[in-house]
Amino acid sequence: MSGEKKIITISREFGSGGRLIGKRLAEKLDIPYYDKELLDRIAEESGFCKEMIEGAEMKAKNSFLYSLASAMGTGEAGPESLSLNERFFLAQFDVIKKIADEGSCVIVGRCADYILRDVPEATNVFIYAEEEDKIKRAVEDYGVPADAVKKLMKDTDKARANYYSYHTGRKWGEPVNYHIAIDSGYIEIEDIVDLIIKYTDVKLYK
Amino acid sequence: MSGEKKIITISREFGSGGRLIGKRLAEKLDIPYYDKELLDRIAEESGFCKEMIEGAEMKAKNSFLYSLASAMGTGEAGPESLSLNERFFLAQFDVIKKIADEGSCVIVGRCADYILRDVPEATNVFIYAEEEDKIKRAVEDYGVPADAVKKLMKDTDKARANYYSYHTGRKWGEPVNYHIAIDSGYIEIEDIVDLIIKYTDVKLYK
In terms of CA atoms, which chain B residue is nearest residue A184?
B179
Distance from CA of A204 to the nearest CA of B (A): 5
The verdict on a CB contact (< 8 Å) between B204 and A188 is: yes
Q: Report the candidate in B189, B204, B178, B183 with the shortest Cα–Cα distance to residue B25.
A: B189
The verdict on a CB contact (< 8 Å) between B183 and A204 is: no
Provide the percentage of residues in chain B whose pLDDT is more than 70.
93
Dihedral pair phi/psi, residue B126, rounded to 5°: -115, 125
In terms of CA atoms, which chain A residue is nearest residue B130?
A176
Distance, CA of A90 to chain centre: 15
In this predicted model, what pLDDT tens digit does every residue of B65-83 receive, in sequence order? 777 777 765 544 455 567 7
d(CA A90, CA A46): 10
Distance, CA of B95 to chain centre: 14
Distance from CA of B197 to the nearest CA of A (A): 11
Q: What angle do CA B26, B126, A182 make, to 5 degrees?
A: 110
Q: Give pLDDT, residue B131.
A: 96
Q: Is the pLDDT confidence value at B119 over 80? A: yes
CB contacts, 8 Å: B128 with chain A: 175-176
In this predicted model, what pLDDT tens digit does every residue of B41-65 receive, in sequence order? 888 888 888 777 777 777 777 777 7
B174: exposed, middle or buried (C-beta count within 10 Å: 0-12, 13-18, 19+)?
middle
Distance from CA of B113 to the nearest CA of A (A): 14
> DSSP string covering A96-123, please?
HHHHHHHS-EEEESTTHHHHTTT-TTEE
Q: Give pLDDT, residue B151.
A: 96
Tens-digit pLDDT string for chain A (206 aa): 555 899 999 999 999 999 999 999 999 999 999 998 888 888 888 888 877 777 777 777 777 777 777 776 554 445 556 777 788 888 889 999 999 999 999 999 999 999 999 999 999 999 999 999 999 999 999 999 999 999 999 999 999 999 999 999 999 999 999 999 999 999 999 999 999 999 999 999 87
pTM: 0.92
CB contacts, 8 Å: B188 with chain A: 202, 204
In this predicted model, what pLDDT tens digit does every residue of B124-181 receive, in sequence order? 999 999 999 999 999 999 999 999 999 999 999 999 999 999 999 999 999 999 999 9
The verdict on a CB contact (< 8 Å) between B183 and A186 is: no
Q: Is the pLDDT confidence value at B30 over 70? A: yes
Q: How many CB pairs under 8 A join A and B?
A: 77
d(CA A116, CA A127): 18
Mean pLDDT, chain B, as a whole number?
A: 89
Q: Which residues contact B160 (CB under 8 A, 6 or more apart)?
A: B14, B57, B60, B109, B172
Among the residues of chain A, which ranges form H helices?
A: 18-29, 36-46, 50-55, 63-71, 84-102, 112-115, 131-140, 149-168, 189-202
Q: Report the candidate in B112, B25, B110 with the shortest Cα–Cα distance to residue B60.
A: B110
Q: Give pLDDT, residue B133.
A: 97
d(CA B170, CA B44): 29
Strand partners of residue A84:
none
Q: Give pLDDT, residue B77.
A: 47
Distance from CA of A171 to the nearest CA of B (A): 12
Nearest by CB to A179, from B173, B183, B191: name it: B183
Q: Which residues contact A31 (CB under 8 A, 6 or more apart)?
A: A6, A103, A104, A105, A106
The verdict on a CB contact (< 8 Å) between B175 and A126 is: yes
**Mean pLDDT for the stretch of residues B27-45:** 90
d(CA B74, CA A142): 55
